[in-house]
Amino acid sequence: MSWKAIGIFDSGVGGLTVLKEIVKTLPQEDTIYFGDTARVPYGTKSPETVIRYSHQITEFLVSRDIKLLVVACNTASAVALDSLKEAFPIPIVGVIEPGSSRAVSVTKTGKVAVIGTEGTVKSSAYTKAIKRLSPDVQVVTRACPLFVPLAEEGWVDNDVTRLTAEIYLKGLKEGGVDTLVLGCTHYPLLKEVIAGVMGNEVLLVDSAEETARTVAGILGEHDLLRPVAEKGNHHYFVTDVPAGFIRVGNRFLGGELGDVYQVDLDQSLIKGEGADEGE
């Protein structure tokens, strides 16, 4: 049982930041990553559509015999997590609860900011999760949509990115928050710029790091961890031509992406493409 892989899915490449933290925390584990690149983004879709997509992908990953599923997508975590937990008999972890829990445990002033995409901010998923854990915490949210294309372009530390961060984050800093949740899987790539704008007195909470800790804890509780002497293998599936995913994915993972296979979820056809193509 403990030799099965961890399944991870996202609407695109952003969830690779979650994968990266899981691999760092649990290098002995096999992973299967699924990016729904043909249907990205999820934030503009109806909840019903996101739930349908999430079930399709989970069925595909469960058919490959995973032992735990990580929903590494803020939108899918916000709208599909409960439905997935009801439908599938494996542990399922989203990215919202771990980040929210960490924010509540570290804030000293009780003022927490959450930055994310328009869809995540509109869903109020982080605000609800934080308030469930601690009703007295004040939560301020800010949509930072330009951070996603900047991260994918590899503009993680230049004048354009710094100026964009200053415009988005100025009000949050002036509002006296002491904790800032990176509520989008792309945002860890911009962590240094965001930290530079917010200053040393504001603690950044990386939902990807917290999710990896949660995964390690659940696998440990269920006695599903592989022996630490093992070395994990990593497999990647996408729903669109792999070239673009490979190019941006190498940026996200530091050039460690392996072969990427294209899947037609309706037909369950799989086509392979090497990691060096599309470069």
- By CB atoms closer than 10 A (0-12, 13-18, 19+), residue 56 is middle
The residues near 150 (Cβ < 8 Å, ≥ 6 apart) are 156, 160, 161, 164, 190
3-state SS class at 162: helix
Q: Which of 13, 57, 70, 73 is catalytic?
A: 73
Whole-angstrom distance, CA of residue 113 vs CA of residue 205: 10
- State yes or no: is 144 an active-site residue: no
In this structure, which amino acid lies at residue 246?
A: I
* CA dist 44 → 114, 216, 258 (Å): 19, 32, 30
Q: Which of 61, 129, 184, 197 is catalytic?
A: 184
- State yes or no: is 184 an active-site residue: yes
3-state SS class at 64: coil
Residues acting as catalytic residues: 73, 184
